[in-house]
Amino acid sequence: MATSRGWSAASVVPLLSAITAASLDLLPLPDAAPRALAPSMLLGVCYYWTIYRPDFLPPWILFALGTSLDVAGGMPPGLTALSLLLARGRLRSWRRFLLRHGSVLVWFGLAPVLLLVGLLRWGVLSILAGGALPVEPVAAEAGLTFGIYPGLAWLLGHLLRRLPVLHHAARG
């Protein structure tokens, strides 16, 4: 049953998948120079939903998730939120093109988003550290995120196909 804001049980699935991804990103807790390399599950999940159902993860949710992840992980508050919002903004102009050309191009469309986010995070953390941090962990995280995305997209696509089709009152 939809609420006055248009939320339904189906529209909560992307939010729950993003919260789950953020929780996975915290295992183990990251710091400014992570010792354990891992993919950015939250970025992968947000990328997927921004392409396929952007209405289910509006900017304010991305901001809240990103800021919460930063606070919980000991990162500068707002850095992940800014990264997610920049990625979403970039994808707005690419979305239709990517959807027209299929899942392989959607996957390869993740690469420039990872580059943008990685450079932003590396730059801000380098400034805060007072000098250039090693770029290898950023490249490794991007590579791991790119590598796991097809499996992540398969799982999220499976969830998306199970969601009931929501119709706006104006469309019937």
pLDDT of residue 156 exceeding 70, the answer is yes
Residue 165 within a domain? no
pTM of the predicted structure, to 2 decimals: 0.86
Closest by CA position to 159, among listed 62, 47, 48: 48
- Tell me if 8 sits within 8 A of 168, measured CB to CB: no
Closest by CA position to 79, among listed 144, 25, 20: 25
Closest by CA position to 109, among listed 69, 80, 150, 61: 150
Residue 59 belongs to what domain range? 9-160
Question: pLDDT-based confidence at 3, cuts 50/70/90?
Answer: very low
* Residue of 66 and 164 predicted with greater confidence: 66
- The label of the residue with tokens 């104006």 reads 170
Number of domains into which the chain is organized:
1
Would you state the pLDDT for residue 2?
A: 43
- Tell me if 148 sits within 8 A of 39, measured CB to CB: yes
Would you state the pLDDT for residue 37?
A: 83
Residue 91 within a domain? yes
Three-point CA angle 76, 80, 86, nearest 5°: 130
State the amino acid at position 140 in one-letter form.
A
